[in-house]
Amino acid sequence: MAIQWFPGHMHLTRKAIGERIKEIDVVIEMLDARLPGSSANPMLAELIKGKPALKILSKQDLADPSRTALWLAHYNALPGVSALGLDTSNTSPAKALIDACRQLAPNRGGMVKPMRVLICGIPNVGKSTLINTLKGKRAAKTGDEAGVTKQELRIALEDDFYLYDTPGVLWPRIIVEQSGYNLAASGAIGVNAFDQEVVALELLNYLIPHYPQALAERYKIDNIPGHTDETLLEVIGRQRGAIQSGGRVNTTKAAHLVIHDFRAAAMGRITLETPEQFALWLAEGKKADAERAVRKEATVKPKKTRPKSSV
């Protein structure tokens, strides 16, 4: 099952970013530290056209610190890119992004050439929370759901430093299947666009081999590696009281509980991908997408042309 979510306002945001980028000095892309590869927007790479980029791994207080270090090293090794890990509720580290932007564009600054920075990211990644932390007041709306910001905002962080905030935006088609599940689990995709039970099962399928101790401690269940995603969801449902008539487990409710626990870090600090894992998923996604394009091309019938009449 491929998860896709691209509401109408995201088309407008894509167009607005394309127009604004011409006068921007640095582009900040906020990534979810729990899924840095899946939350990186491939559409943005086409739009920024070689502009210096600052990758901010937000919500790092919810993510696995050892994996955050791997992702920071991965992005800092890229040309023209710097990366920071931030907990957006903490004022001091958040302000570090101003210095990072000035290092990426050292020739900008002062009232004659003020720094112009565009901040982008997927929905619900924490952009508005970061901006409010930087400003020290409620400059942007925040909310625990995808798509709260609906229009561009310009905010002066310093006399010569302007930050342009854009609505959260995904991309028209997610070719990495695992990214769709991870984005849904994180809260970046509207709840009506996916099946919670499917997402919870995919989440458990990843956590069983990679974070068995976290699952055992949260749900007080022994022998986590001996479970499949389906049997574990069943046990969690019974353990958490998600029971319906006839004594059956309400798997929809159990799935909601699992997703909520992940988002709230009730299982502990978890990251759903490493740079190596995401590179493999991306390669597989590109291969499958190319094969899909070939099949689609093969099914397109050539248009019939009427023979020319002789005079």
| pLDDT score of 268 more than 70 | yes
* 307: confidence class by pLDDT, cuts 50, 70, 90: low
Q: What is the greatest pairwise CA distance in the chain?
A: 88
Indicate the pTM of the whole model: 0.84
The mean per-residue pLDDT over the stretch 204-210 comes to 98
Rounded distance between C-alpha atoms, residue 121 and residue 186, angstroms: 13
Rounded distance between C-alpha atoms, residue 44 and residue 298, angstroms: 30
Domain boundaries, the chain: 8-165, 195-263
End-to-end CA distance of the chain: 57
Nearest C-alpha neighbor of 189 from the set 3, 51, 59: 3
What count of Cα atoms within 13 Å lies in the side-chain half-sphere of residue 218?
A: 27
The mean per-residue pLDDT over the stretch 175-185 comes to 93
Are 33 and 68 a contacting pair, CB within 8 Å? yes
| pLDDT score of 15 more than 80 | no
Q: What is the pLDDT of residue 121?
A: 86
Model pLDDT for residues 66-84, shown as the tens digit of each residue? 999 999 999 999 999 999 9
Q: Say how many C-beta atoms besides its own lie within 10 A of residue 197's C-beta.
A: 18
Rounded distance between C-alpha atoms, residue 259 and residue 263, angstroms: 6
Are 165 and 140 a contacting pair, CB within 8 Å? yes
Mean per-residue pLDDT of the chain: 85
Percent with pLDDT over 90 in the chain: 54
68-77, 158-167, 216-225, 252-261: which range is least confident on average? 158-167
Nearest C-alpha neighbor of 3 from the set 285, 294, 287, 300: 285
Q: Where is mean pLDDT largest: 61-75, 117-131, 287-301?
A: 61-75
Model pLDDT for residues 129-154, shown as the tens digit of each residue? 888 777 765 554 444 444 444 456 78
Domain 8-165 -> CATH class = alpha beta
Q: What is the pLDDT of residue 144?
A: 43
* 303: confidence class by pLDDT, cuts 50, 70, 90: low
What CATH number has the domain spanning 195-263?
1.10.1580.10
